[in-house]
Protein backbone atom coordinates (compact mmCIF):
# COMPACT_ATOMS: atom_id res chain seq x y z
CA UNK A 1 0.00 0.00 0.00
CA UNK A 2 2.87 2.40 0.73
CA UNK A 3 4.21 1.81 -2.78
CA UNK A 4 0.89 2.84 -4.33
CA UNK A 5 0.67 6.06 -2.30
CA UNK A 6 4.21 7.07 -3.29
CA UNK A 7 3.42 6.31 -6.92
CA UNK A 8 0.29 8.46 -6.81
CA UNK A 9 2.16 11.30 -5.09
CA UNK A 10 5.00 11.10 -7.63
CA UNK A 11 2.53 11.09 -10.52
CA UNK A 12 0.70 14.12 -9.11
CA UNK A 13 3.99 16.00 -8.62
CA UNK A 14 5.06 15.21 -12.18
CA UNK A 15 1.70 16.42 -13.53
CA UNK A 16 2.02 19.71 -11.62
CA UNK A 17 5.55 20.21 -12.92
CA UNK A 18 4.55 19.53 -16.54
CA UNK A 19 1.50 21.78 -16.21
CA UNK A 20 3.68 24.61 -14.92
CA UNK A 21 6.10 24.36 -17.82
CA UNK A 22 3.37 24.17 -20.48
CA UNK A 23 1.60 27.23 -19.02
CA UNK A 24 4.66 29.46 -19.30
CA UNK A 25 4.74 31.89 -22.21
CA UNK A 26 7.33 31.50 -24.91
CA UNK A 27 9.85 34.25 -25.59
CA UNK A 28 8.80 36.70 -28.29
CA UNK A 29 11.56 36.97 -30.93
CA UNK A 30 11.70 39.26 -33.97
CA UNK A 31 14.20 41.30 -35.99
CA UNK A 32 14.16 45.09 -35.58
CA UNK A 33 15.49 46.93 -38.62
CA UNK A 34 16.38 50.61 -38.61
CA UNK A 35 15.16 51.80 -42.02
CA UNK A 36 15.80 55.46 -41.21
CA UNK A 37 18.84 57.64 -41.92
CA UNK A 38 19.35 58.22 -38.19
CA UNK A 39 20.77 56.16 -35.35
CA UNK A 40 18.24 54.62 -32.96
CA UNK A 41 19.43 55.12 -29.39
CA UNK A 42 16.50 53.76 -27.35
CA UNK A 43 13.77 51.19 -28.01
CA UNK A 44 10.98 50.55 -25.51
CA UNK A 45 8.06 48.13 -25.61
CA UNK A 46 5.17 47.34 -23.36
CA UNK A 47 1.98 45.37 -23.86
CA UNK A 48 -0.94 47.47 -25.10
CA UNK A 49 -2.91 48.70 -22.11
CA UNK A 50 0.10 48.93 -19.78
CA UNK A 51 0.59 52.60 -18.91
CA UNK A 52 4.36 52.51 -18.36
CA UNK A 53 7.22 51.64 -20.70
CA UNK A 54 9.39 48.65 -19.90
CA UNK A 55 13.18 49.19 -19.78
CA UNK A 56 15.16 50.28 -22.85
CA UNK A 57 15.81 47.10 -24.82
CA UNK A 58 18.90 48.48 -26.55
CA UNK A 59 20.52 49.47 -23.27
CA UNK A 60 23.79 51.24 -24.07
CA UNK A 61 23.81 49.97 -27.66
CA UNK A 62 22.81 52.05 -30.68
CA UNK A 63 21.12 50.65 -33.78
CA UNK A 64 22.73 52.52 -36.64
CA UNK A 65 20.87 53.51 -39.81
CA UNK A 66 20.29 50.47 -42.02
CA UNK A 67 21.28 47.93 -39.34
CA UNK A 68 19.20 45.14 -37.85
CA UNK A 69 19.17 43.42 -34.47
CA UNK A 70 17.40 40.34 -33.19
CA UNK A 71 15.12 41.27 -30.28
CA UNK A 72 13.93 38.83 -27.62
CA UNK A 73 11.16 39.86 -25.24
CA UNK A 74 11.22 37.37 -22.39
CA UNK A 75 8.73 39.01 -20.06
CA UNK A 76 6.75 35.88 -19.27
CA UNK A 77 3.58 37.33 -20.74
CA UNK A 78 1.45 35.55 -23.31
CA UNK A 79 0.40 38.68 -25.22
CA UNK A 80 1.23 39.66 -28.78
CA UNK A 81 0.05 43.26 -29.09
CA UNK A 82 2.77 45.70 -28.00
CA UNK A 83 3.22 49.46 -27.99
CA UNK A 84 6.68 50.52 -29.16
CA UNK A 85 8.64 53.72 -28.64
CA UNK A 86 11.69 54.70 -30.69
CA UNK A 87 14.12 57.44 -29.66
CA UNK A 88 16.94 58.67 -31.85
CA UNK A 89 20.35 60.17 -31.09
CA UNK A 90 20.54 63.88 -30.31
CA UNK A 91 22.09 64.74 -33.68
CA UNK A 92 19.08 63.24 -35.48
CA UNK A 93 16.34 65.36 -37.02
CA UNK A 94 13.76 62.65 -36.18
CA UNK A 95 11.36 63.01 -33.28
CA UNK A 96 10.48 60.23 -30.88
CA UNK A 97 8.13 57.85 -32.68
CA UNK A 98 5.57 55.39 -31.35
CA UNK A 99 3.73 52.52 -33.01
CA UNK A 100 1.71 49.40 -32.20
CA UNK A 101 2.18 45.93 -33.64
CA UNK A 102 1.28 42.30 -33.18
CA UNK A 103 4.83 41.09 -32.58
CA UNK A 104 3.82 37.41 -32.61
CA UNK A 105 2.90 37.66 -36.29
CA UNK A 106 6.00 39.58 -37.32
CA UNK A 107 9.32 38.08 -38.17
CA UNK A 108 10.70 41.57 -38.77
CA UNK A 109 9.69 45.13 -37.89
CA UNK A 110 11.22 48.04 -39.80
CA UNK A 111 11.12 51.55 -38.43
CA UNK A 112 10.93 54.12 -41.22
CA UNK A 113 10.95 57.91 -41.41
pLDDT digits (tens, 9 = 90+) for 2-55: 444 444 444 444 444 444 444 456 788 999 999 999 999 999 999 999 999 989
- pLDDT, residue 71, reads 93
- Report the alpha-carbon distance of residue 63 to residue 110 in Å, rounded: 12
- Render pLDDT for 59-93 as a digit per residue (tens, 0 to 9): 999 999 999 999 998 888 888 899 999 999 999 98
- pLDDT above 80: residue 104: yes
Residue 7 phi/psi, 5-degree rounding, is -65, -45
Rounded average pLDDT over 91-106: 91
Amino acid sequence: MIFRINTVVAAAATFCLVSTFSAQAEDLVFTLKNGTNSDLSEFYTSPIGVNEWEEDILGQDVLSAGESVRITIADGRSVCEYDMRFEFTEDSDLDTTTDKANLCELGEYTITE
